Structure 1
Amino acid sequence: MNSEANPRDTQGTAYHKAYPESHQVKEVHLWPVVDNGKDYYVERNGVKFAGTHLIIDLWGATNLDQLELTEDALRESAEVAGATLLHCHLHHFSPNGGISGVLVLAESHISIHTWPERSYAALDVFMCGDCDPYKAIPVLKRAFEPERVVVNEQKRGILA
């Protein structure tokens, strides 16, 4: 397996060319956040739950085979939502095969799977604590320019 350092990232990014050659894997390793003992459960409208999980479908979307743009959009989504990035792993099925990946956050995750041939992307934005996953949506719209966006919300880990 060959690894090349990415000069624009000083946080341990490595691109891996794995067999077959048409697939590229990108990983970013960051130092873990120290547990501060805080309860990251959310309380909203009298309901206490683990976090908000947005299931997002982007239809008629563009740029779905652009690895760098996708990484930038996901990182910005995490940042504007107030989340802490721990790890980024993106897999580019090339050429023109789409991207699958995940940002592991201290507050949960953001994942993406794209189908450029269908102009479709499926994303999960799951966050707990003080993060606001809804703030990621404008970033995703700007990056992928979808004609239609469908968002479904699930409250995860509801306490009875």
Structure 2
Amino acid sequence: MAQREAFAGIMLENENMTIAPGAAEDDRLDYFVHKDGLTFAGTHLIIDLWGGEGLNDADLIETTLRRAIDVAGATLLHFHIHAFEPDGLSGVAVLAESHISFHSWPERDYMALDIFMCGKTDPYKAIPILREAFKPETLQLNEIKRGIVS
């Protein structure tokens, strides 16, 4: 906690990152999840897609993730995709309720996705969207409840 307080109100910048002063008062809502008798920061889904289609198609991936964000009830703030040569994509969707990130290795028929959401969102609603778009032979899913406080 002392480190976070030490940086309160300081603006740090470089070409890749900006850390702004604390949130405005109306941005400080409690986005912790209260479910099944637990209180926690959010649900983090770790997803491995094997044998899917379109793993090097930036437009398909962006369209699919935008749909998944909408269906899950999240709010998109920023979307970025980076293409690697000769193949492969990495990207992140920054959400008001956390993020979705992905990395694809088309040469291995594999994509890794992380969906971390808090608040009243439902990250599990993204799974059928991913299955429909990428048609994976195998989808492995692990859940982590992040930041359990009670």
Determine if the TM-score, normalized by the shorter chain, exceeds 0.5. Answer: yes
Unaligned runs of 5+ in 1: 1-32
Query: Which of these residues, 136, 152, 155, is aligned with residue 142 of structure 2?
Result: 152
Kindly report structure 1 stretches of 4+ aligned residues shifted beyond 6 Å: none
The match for 2:72 is 81
Q: What secondary structure does 1:141 align onto?
A: helix
Q: Give TM-score scaled by structure 1 length.
A: 0.76
Q: Look up the equivalent residue of 2:62 and give its one-letter code.
A: E
Unaligned runs of 5+ in 2: 1-23
Distance 1:80 1:61 in 2: 21
Are 2:55 and 1:64 equivalent residues in the alignment?
yes
Q: Percent identity?
A: 61
The match for 2:8 is none
Offset, 1:36: 4.3
Distance 2:55 2:74 in 1: 23
Q: Give TM-score scaled by structure 2 length.
A: 0.81
Offset, 1:93: 1.4
Cα deviations by residue, 1:64-114 (Å, 9 ceiling, x for unpaired) = 00010011011111110000000001001144x111000000000000100
- Structure ranking higher in helix proportion: 2
Cα deviations by residue, 1:106-147 (Å, 9 ceiling, x for unpaired) = 000000100101110000000000000000111111111100
RMSD value, Cα: 1.8
- Structure ranking higher in strand proportion: 1
